[in-house]
Amino acid sequence: MEVHMECTIVSLLKDGDRVVGAFGYEREHGKFKLFQAKSIILATGGLGRAYKITSNSWEGTGDGHALAYHAGAELIDMEFIQFHPTGMVWPPSVKGILVTEGVRGEGGVLRNKEGRRFMFDDIPDNYKSSTADNEEEGWKYTQGTRTRAARRNFSPAITSLAASCVK
């Protein structure tokens, strides 16, 4: 397999409904590249840079999503974009820098500009049974009193593994 480093694809090429190649350029020299292919796998990263404040790489611009969409692909599960809620927003000199998970481990909490614990809002129904509903229950999770975890239907193997880890 050939690897083409620092190559940006700007368009997927189609023959009817079928993708048959890609057109791009080498970032270092600007040389155009034409790739013919029997099949295409897009492994282009995410789209975290679509957000104003983010710690995602500068390359996470959503180009792969756009390439697929413009070639006719149906984009599914777009609600599962990676979101990391602990990024700096002030002062401007550190905007976008990731705050370590240790801050929350030491008791830090996430609040929006209204002072509300927003991470408890809008949890999809299929995840509600395994997440905290409120601050008190969230605190119990951090202390090892997992009231909701006990309600999950884990396999005996997972239950046994979890029990041995607690010991």
One pLDDT digit (tens) per residue for the chain, 167 residues? 788 889 999 999 999 999 999 999 999 999 999 999 998 888 887 887 777 777 777 778 888 999 999 999 998 888 777 666 667 777 888 777 777 767 766 777 777 788 887 776 767 777 777 777 777 777 776 777 655 444 445 455 555 555 555 55
| Structure confidence at residue 150 (pLDDT) | 44
Q: Rounded to an integer, what distance in angstroms lies between the CA atom of residue 85 and that of residue 159?
A: 30
pLDDT (0 to 100) of residue 148: 46
Active site residue 117: no
Rounded CA-CA distance 92/52 in Å is 12
CB 31 within 8 A of CB 25: yes
Give CA–CA dist 13/36, Å, rounded: 8
Query: Cα-flanking dihedrals φ and ψ of residue 31, to 5°?
Result: -70, 130
49 is catalytic: no
Q: Of residues 49, 104, 117, 148, which has the active-site annotation?
A: 104
Amino acid at 126: N
**Nearest alpha-carbon partner for 23 in 33, 15, 14:** 33
Instruction: Please tell me which residue in 18, 27, 84, 152 is annotated as part of the active site.
Output: 84
Is residue 36 within 8 Å of residue 42, measured between CB atoms? Answer: no
